[in-house]
Amino acid sequence: MFLWGGATAASQYEGGFSVKEGMDTQDCRPYLPRNNNATVQTRLLTKKVIEESKQEKNELYYPFRVGTKGYEHVKEDLELLKELGIQVYRFSLSWTRLFPKGIENEPNQEGVHYYDQIFDFCNKNKIKIFLTMNHYAVPLYLVEQYGGWTNRDMVQYYLNFAEFVFKRWGQSVDYWLPFNEINAGFFSPYNGTGLIKPDKEDYSTQKVFESLHHQFVANAKTIQLAKKLNVPGKFGAMISCFCYYPLTPKPEDNFKLVKEEQINQWFCSDVLMRGKYPYYMESFFKNHEVDLKITEEDTQLLSNYPCDFISFSYYSSSVVTTEEAEKTAGNLVVTTKNPYLEASEWGWQIDPIGLRTTLNKVYDRYNCPVIISENGFGAKDTLENNQVHDPYRIDYFDSHFKEIMKAKELDNVDVGAYIAWGIIDIVSAGSCEMDKRYGVVYVDGDNEGNGTYKRYKKDSFYWYQKFIQSHNKM
């Protein structure tokens, strides 16, 4: 059965910062008014910026501490998801809500109770759970005291967290995702691994890949622990996909595409799905002077505990060229503008066929079940008379859903689920703002935390609801 669903992420949705005893890395990201560099600045955090975020008299607004107040509205939001009719709900856990510093022996019971409500509601209402265990948020204490994922000790702290989750909620989860968009650890290191940027230098390539390697080991050990504890459910890898095209038929453009696709898109999933480092990383590591301390135990773990399914986020396609060309934004990356595509207000190029292409490529590469774990349209919505008319989002859904059907029915891709991103409005992880909304439920809050935070069903809510009802036996 094909599942239609929706997703939120703890740091972007929950808020409830005052009830947490510890900060995480997303709590340190300030809102900066949108300009040519704001989105980049909010993803390149230095020690100075983090120290400023901890000062009480700081005048900057930190949107991830508020999210869209899901902590306060959780019961109302769950009822909205039930009314919408989704069959799978993807949500994430806030590590610091359960273990504020990441080193505690016992969890924060307020956090446990909060998540109990979500698991219980989904189980009672037969909504399958796709659980993201860690979504772009690391306890700041672990980053400052241990260096975060650059330190191999981080693996054990993560496993302590995972063991509690398995014992408390392990029987309730259908799909497990240890790490969100794991390849972001390469092209967006602060988001992906919590790696702090040196004040006057770029990220260390060595530290980026050390961090990723430790996440690979943690992923394998998490699956190993789940099997030991007889935890049911499937374990998946997730990457951010970009559907690369060469700008021209020049051989140089196409070769550059192959190399960029390998490192940006396939590397992490190749390790997690195939259980070993791919051949092409040997030359990359040599050229970038990366020396990973991969033990024989690491190699065995990766080989013995690969993932069961592959999932990916997809919002827009990208273009690669060796020449100078006009640039535009994308999900966490900048790309060359495609003259054949329209784009959102944020420059993300709208390409439904790119989703079908990506489904084919991913399935061809791994030959296992595929889940679209994130997709949607970020746009400015206007609330008027308690209504939001968003035909642009409906058009986006409709065009992308048609391509999913083609991939499934014409191309025979084993795609099992579609999960709409930010099903209830959340703070954008890319730009730290509320203006870029994805949800079918509008939340009345602005970029600086003003508003009632009341919920309103958009036109797209009713459209998606009707669509699910008419396609619930796929």
Token pair listed for 229: 């504890």
pLDDT of 19 reads: 85
Q: What percent of the chain has pLDDT over 70?
A: 98
Per-residue model confidence (pLDDT) at position 39? 60
The pLDDT tens digits of the residues spanning 384-416 come to: 999 999 999 999 999 999 999 999 999 999 999
pLDDT > 90? residue 470: yes
Which whole number is the average pLDDT over 428-456? 96
What pLDDT sits at residue 462?
A: 98
Q: 67-110: per-residue pLDDT in tens?
A: 999 999 999 999 999 999 999 999 999 999 999 999 999 999 99
Instruction: Tell me which amino acid residue 445 is.
Output: G
The whole-number pLDDT of residue 38 equals 53
Amino acid found at 34: R
Of 45-49, 215-219, 365-369, 436-440, which gets the smallest average pLDDT?
45-49
Q: How confident is the model at residue 288 (pLDDT cuts 50, 70, 90)?
A: very high
> In angstroms, how far is CA 332 from the centroid of its own chain?
11
Tell me the CATH class for 3-472. alpha beta
Contact predicate 280/262, CB 8 Å: yes
What number is the average pLDDT over the span 446-457? 97
Note every long-range contact of 46-55, with CB atoms under 8 Å and residues 24 or more positions apart, other chains counting. 46/196, 46/197, 46/198, 46/199, 47/196, 47/199, 48/199, 50/140, 50/144, 50/196, 53/23, 53/27, 53/28, 53/29, 54/23, 54/28
Tokens standing for residue 443: 């939340």
Helices (H), 85-233: 95-98, 109-124, 140-146, 153-169, 184-187, 189-193, 205-228
pLDDT (mean) for 267-280: 98
pLDDT category at 334 given cuts 50, 70, 90 is: confident
Q: Which of 426, 419, 413, 383 is nearest to 69 (CA)?
A: 426
Select the more confidently predicted residue: 301 or 57. 301
Model confidence at 40: pLDDT above 80: no
pLDDT score at 337? 92
pTM: 0.97
Cβ neighbours, 10 Å, residue 406:
17
374 is catalytic: yes
Q: What is the pLDDT of residues 292-306, one digit of tens each?
A: 999 999 999 999 999
- Using the predicted structure, report yes or no on whether residue 272 has a pLDDT greater than 80: yes
Question: Could you report the per-residue pLDDT of 125-165, keeping only the tens digit for each?
Answer: 999 999 999 999 999 999 999 999 999 999 999 999 999 99
Q: Is the pLDDT of residue 352 over 90?
A: yes
CA torsion angle for 426, 432, 437, 440 (degrees, to 10)?
-10
| Beta strands 455-457; 441-443: pairing state | antiparallel
Determine which one of 374, 384, 409, 433 is catalytic: 374
Above 90 in pLDDT, residue 327?
no
Instruction: Return the minimum-mean-pLDDT range out of 100-114, 189-203, 352-366, 419-433.
Output: 189-203
pLDDT at residue number 342: 92
C-alpha 184: how far from chain center: 9
What pLDDT shows up at residue 72? Answer: 97
Q: What is the pLDDT of residue 330?
A: 80
